[in-house]
Amino acid sequence: MAKLTIVRLGVDVPYEQAWALQRRVHAHRVAGTLGDTALLLEHAPVYTAGRRTAAHERPADGTPVVDVDRGGRITWHGPGQLVGYPIMRVGDVGAYVHALEEAMIQICADFGVSVHRVEGRSGVWVRDEGGPERALGAVGIRIVGGVTMHGFALNCANDPSWFNRIVPCGISDAGVTSLSQESGRRIVVDEVMPYAEKRLAEALEAEPQDMHEEDLLQAVAKLR
């Protein structure tokens, strides 16, 4: 079974800092000098816009947005949201996206929350009879040289009002929710993290192994 090195980057991580680290790890994965690696973290508050973001989907009040090279449209990252960036070699892109969704489905099930896929939309969703769909987890990826970047975001205990300034993922006819909102109790990222590590490795059919952030940074520095 393939190995998946999992690195926890902590909380309040600036987006540009994590993105720079992604690019460095990605380059080494493409070159074969690093193995498959997943970065797990909570970002400092930030709006990011994928390549398909339309002008009307951005904040109307001039709130800054970071334009990124992933697929998809605009979203928010920040405290209370678990973000995962698997940087790994893949062959079947559709199967990879399906695996990220499956990991989130299983994480939510671990906390008694039922989520589903919605045809034509990536991520995982809560569906009630007669009500609008609500996004609980999102997927946005980029693949270069056969190796992935970016990944998934799972709402745990984040403030939903951050999404009010944008059209999340470009979908205007749906809402946004979280594990805390759906379960009726506060579920923070620290509580979700061990489940996420386990379910992500299972979905990707890999054996997880932990690595400290400092060790990853040292490994990347030595490989320059």
CA distances from 155 to 130, 159, 186 (A): 23, 9, 12
- Rounded to whole angstroms, the Cα distance separating 7 from 161 reads 29
- Rounded to whole angstroms, the Cα distance separating 132 from 171 reads 11
- Rounded to whole angstroms, the Cα distance separating 174 from 172 reads 6
Number of C-alpha atoms within 13 angstroms, CB side, residue 171?
18
Q: Which of 103, 169, 203, 206 is catalytic?
A: 169
To which H or E segment does residue 93 belong? Answer: helix 93-110
Token reading at 31: 């070159």
Dihedral (C-alpha) 174, 176, 181, 186: value to the nearest 10 degrees?
Answer: 170
Residue with tokens 């992604």: 22
Cβ contact 120:171 at 8 Å: no
Residue 171 has phi, psi (to 5 degrees) of -110, 110
169 is catalytic: yes
Number of C-alpha atoms within 13 angstroms, CB side, residue 147?
21
Active site residues: 169
